[in-house]
Structure 1
């Protein structure tokens, strides 16, 4: 007969471990998510041209795509915490060095440092998330609840992190904001080491190469659909900030673009809060497709907005839907990824998601020159089609 006190102690231990996880994840992800804002603000303060600021920002984000090629170490090493901690430490040191050198040296030097720091970015996002299954507990309910907290970590670091950077830059200066992020990453490295140790794969030789892992994702129906929908939705929601900039003047002023984008960020946080109360239930593969369709619907709702209030509500609802969708993708990655490649699966999906977001921003900026609503209408249609295709594919697979 199970010992109630032992079970209670296990639950309390997992709760404390999850709290440490959220703290560590928020620290390192804030450093990753706010880095572009800090560096762009610093470049602007130095009087550098806009294209140079963009180049510096891209130096951080573009290398994320190469993260999976260094991620195999996460699944083979005896203690994955050390890999993530070293990644966070390197990211912080390189980011701080780039910020200090930008005012006093050629731009190519800090750009190179930022590019190297960007290589470690996926370790701070998907890499950290790959540690969660061993912390959350064995039941699906405990896993889903822990994933809700993980979504909250992403929401806090992705929304409040850049906002804090902008505030610190306005009060003390962009260099101080950059150094604050670097410090957060370094402190986060120590917090990662305080997480529970995850049992390594029994045979490190069984861990596949990055290319083989991508093939595994493609051959697994649930993982393939999760990756495809993650890429499509990331590409789609990246159009919202561009649309907000174009829409704001018709609602009362260009400055309202920031309000609309903030509304989307608040929606992400609200979605995270809802997930903490009511965690997702049901098959993760099915949930991912259904919630991708929900994102498509909310993107369509953003279009016919007659005033600021309705626009702000629509952007917020879109943020809520995206948070729910993201939680479903985390569940799918956790439940369908093979144990010997779990870290690589998380990082592959995360890296391609960031690349898709960058492509979505660039595409929206290109399309919006003619008709303001065209980019959002296009990506809403793409998301809806992708969701329907995945639902049909899943139905056929389960009926066979």
Structure 2
């Protein structure tokens, strides 16, 4: 007997009925995640360009990222609503409107007003990431190969959003102003809302009274083996790879290149991530998602070891790219696990819980890497490798010694 699984979600009424559904999804997800990925950069540039102190730029940037942890407490509405598309569309509109208001009021209002508006914007951020992903299973097709190929597209939208968002902000800020850049992002969320509403309708999986509260959903995840492993492997890998940008900057001296070359290293990682998603598109992942996560987490740890061992800049660029590819595949496996193991009545919450905790631990990983990189340049990566390897061993041990798990009800 194997660990219980909920299986791939069945397509809802009208879901998957149009071949244009997936392209519409990709457009909506890319626009939403571009706004989510670029907002922090826009806010920091806005404050610094106005002559504000660094602590204010950091504090306002945190105002839009920290609320992601509260996302699961908003996400229950995804599972109780008769039409989840409307919930996500409203989230896109509110996210964009509050971001635009914060930017426009910053020069004339007290910073506290801007902070409150950014907190409101950040609160809906998880619905633009994990919330949007929760719609994918219902439109991607009923078989596993179609689902996993679609998840490759989803990974690509995250990669594009995380790369294009800051790039768009930098370009528009240089051409016009940081405020204009933020307004471009806000406009993107409005367009995303329209495309979300164009996605096929999928009926709710359960009656509202059957949908668990956020705390209960987290307990279900912790007590269900595959979901528990999805959660802690996602968090630890996110914590580890978050050290790469810090290490890229700190390691340029050892590699004998200028500090500006760190941008090449981080770009190589980002392009590798996109290459990983392309690989999933061309050849979808096969096999059990639970086991895939464990194996791919191990691969990520090995690639991080390759980054620390790179003797020259050219090899380091390749190592960063390979790490990005590995993380792209790992991320696709975690999306598959969320889809295949989440209880139908709490699917949206599971997606958002994992996404919110991933962002939180990633931020913590960046902060810790910045704090300890001065001790030894590769100490953050050494810690990341150790934690990821231990987590993979624990996950493999759990799967071997605890073959049964309480199924969510």
1:206 maps to 210
In structure 2, the gaps of 5 or more residues are 1-13
Asked whether 1:170 is paired with 2:178, we answer no
Deviation at 1:14, TM superposition (A): 4.6
Q: Does 1:334 align with 2:334?
A: no
Give the whole-Å Cα distance in 1 for the aligned partners of 2:206 and 2:390.
41
What residue number does 1:4 align with? none
Structure-2 separation of matches of 1:140 and 1:205: 30
Deviations 1:252-298 (A, max 9, x none): 11111111111111111111111110110000000011111111111
1:373-394 CA distances to partner (integer Å, 9 max, x unpaired)? 1111111111011011101111
- Alignment match, 1:6: none
What's the counterpart of residue 56 of structure 2?
52
Within 2, Cα distance between the matches of 1:248 and 1:162? 22
Shift of 1:47: 1.0
Question: Aligned partners of 2:162 and 2:181: how far apart in 1?
Answer: 15
Q: Give structure 1 stretches of 5+ with no counterpart.
A: 1-9
Residues in 1 aligned to 2:327 and 2:107: alpha-carbon distance in whole angstroms: 38
Q: Distance in 1 between matches of 2:404 and 2:183?
A: 55
Q: What secondary structure is seen at the aligned counterpart in 2 of 1:200?
A: coil
The structure 1 residue matched to 2:277, chosen from 258, 272, 278, is 272
Residue 357 (structure 2) aligned to one of 334, 352, 361:
352
Q: Give the Cα–Cα distance (whole angstroms) in 2 for the partners of residues 203 and 88 of structure 1.
A: 25
User: Please, which of 233, 254, 258 is the counterpart of residue 253 of structure 1?
Assistant: 258
2:90 corresponds to 1:86: yes
Distance in 2 between the 1:274 and 1:145 partners? 9
1:33–1:158 Cα contact (<8 Å) kept: yes
Structure 1 stretches of 4+ with a deviation exceeding 6 A read none
Cα distance in structure 2, aligned partners of 1:123 and 1:248: 37
For 2:11, the equivalent position in structure 1 comes to: none
What is the distance in 1 between the residues matched to 2:257 and 2:152? Answer: 36
Checking the alignment, whether the CA contact within 8 Å between 1:14 and 1:137 is kept in structure 2 is no
- Name the one with the larger helix percent: 1
Secondary structure of the structure 1 residue equivalent to 2:142: coil
Question: How big is each residue's C-alpha offset from its partner over 1:81-121, in whole Å with a ceiling of 9 and x where there is no partner?
Answer: 01000000000001111111122222111111001100001
**2:309 is equivalent to residue 301 of structure 1:** no
Q: Could you say which structure has the greater relative contact order, defined with CA pairs below 8 angstroms and 6 or more residues apart?
A: 2
Looking at structure 1, the residues matched to 69 and 16 of structure 2 have their Cα atoms a distance apart, in angstroms, of: 38
Matched residues in 1 for 2:298 and 2:172: separation? 38
TM-score by length of 2: 0.93
Q: How far apart in 1 are the matches of 2:257 and 2:332?
A: 35
- For residue 183 of structure 1, the aligned residue among 168, 179, 187 is 187
CA RMSD for the aligned pairs?
Answer: 1.5
